[in-house]
A = this chain, B = another copy of it.
């Protein structure tokens, strides 16, 4: 359900590198050439290109891109070119810094990656920043948000589909009690959301819905502006229905006064090879306009071209 298109006959990494090298040289940068190569190679191929580039020219391709490109276009090309685990490590780092603080992005990464992927992200973080990801998340947060984000990003959930119905019932009851008494930061509520498997949580939320008459996320809308409550809802949504979560993030990014290119780049770069096809379906279902058209109306230039190549266009 990826949206990127890799040509039937892929040039060798050395040929790609030669073209990229050309795109950087001469008067101005040839952005179209860069897009035509990088947007149409999968993660393994991009990784090989980066390695080959270093071998051939003794330079890090990422540093070259950093030198040649700028602003939003640069950011999406860099995010896309990074290996997935490294990209997530970078985005979590960004999300903990003051100027680019983004707790929602941390929740999103914690809830939509698999356990093995999260482990690799944490390894990549060690290698990049010489300290632990969960330590930085804890250091840069406090109070209820820390209480939620730390276990969320540290847990490695079980991924089998076994469900214990007894727990689903008893834990739906706990969730309902805590929500009813507005103890949204209760340690039991956080324990359940942060440690149970996705299959188990789905059963718990279904039981909640059946037994107490509302979807749990509806009951968590008491104060739509409260950041902590919003993160709780994002946790639940992105654990149980990630495509819908991503479609919503894209909708908000596009409908904003002044498009949110950061969010757009984050979602497109991390999902184009995973489930972007399903995200586009969800987007269309909710907005009655195909995602590529919505993006084309709202963005422009190299950034627009790069995004559209990654999500596919004209086929909706």
List of B residues within 8 angstroms of A195 by Cβ: 132, 134-135, 138-139
Q: CB of A212 within 8 A of chain B?
A: no
Q: CB of A290 within 8 A of chain B?
A: no
A296 to B82, CA, bound (A): 58
Using A119-B119, A150-B151 as known contacts, say yes or no to A158 and B134 having CB atoms under 8 A apart.
no
List of B residues within 8 angstroms of A119 by Cβ: 119, 156
A196 to B131, CA, bound (A): 7
Separation in Å of the A15 CB from the closest CB of chain B?
Answer: 37
Greatest chain B CB density within 10 A among A156, A187, A200 is at A156
| Residues A131 and B146 in contact, CB atoms below 8 Å apart | no
Chain A count of residues within 8 A CB distance of the other chain: 31
Instruction: Mark each residue of chain A from 160 to 173: 1 if its CB lies under 8 Å from any CB of chain B, else 0.
Output: 10100000000000
List of B residues within 8 angstroms of A126 by Cβ: 115, 156, 158-160
Q: CB of A154 within 8 A of chain B?
A: yes
Instruction: Mark each residue of chain A from 136 to 163: 1 if its CB lies under 8 Å from any CB of chain B, else 0.
Output: 0011001000110011001111111010
Q: CB of A117 within 8 A of chain B?
A: no
Q: CB of A22 within 8 A of chain B?
A: no
Q: CB of A130 within 8 A of chain B?
A: yes
List of B residues within 8 angstroms of A130 by Cβ: 158, 160, 162
Name the CB-closest residue of B to A139. B191
Separation in Å of the A136 CB from the closest CB of chain B?
Answer: 8
List of B residues within 8 angstroms of A139 by Cβ: 191, 195
A140 to B147, CA, bound (A): 18
Q: CB of A122 within 8 A of chain B?
A: yes
Name the CB-closest residue of B to A164. B131
| Residues B151 and A154 in contact, CB atoms below 8 Å apart | yes
Using A119-B119, A138-B195, A195-B138 as known contacts, say yes or no to A158 and B187 having CB atoms under 8 A apart.
no
Q: CB of A47 within 8 A of chain B?
A: no
Separation in Å of the A155 CB from the closest CB of chain B?
Answer: 6
Q: CB of A240 within 8 A of chain B?
A: no
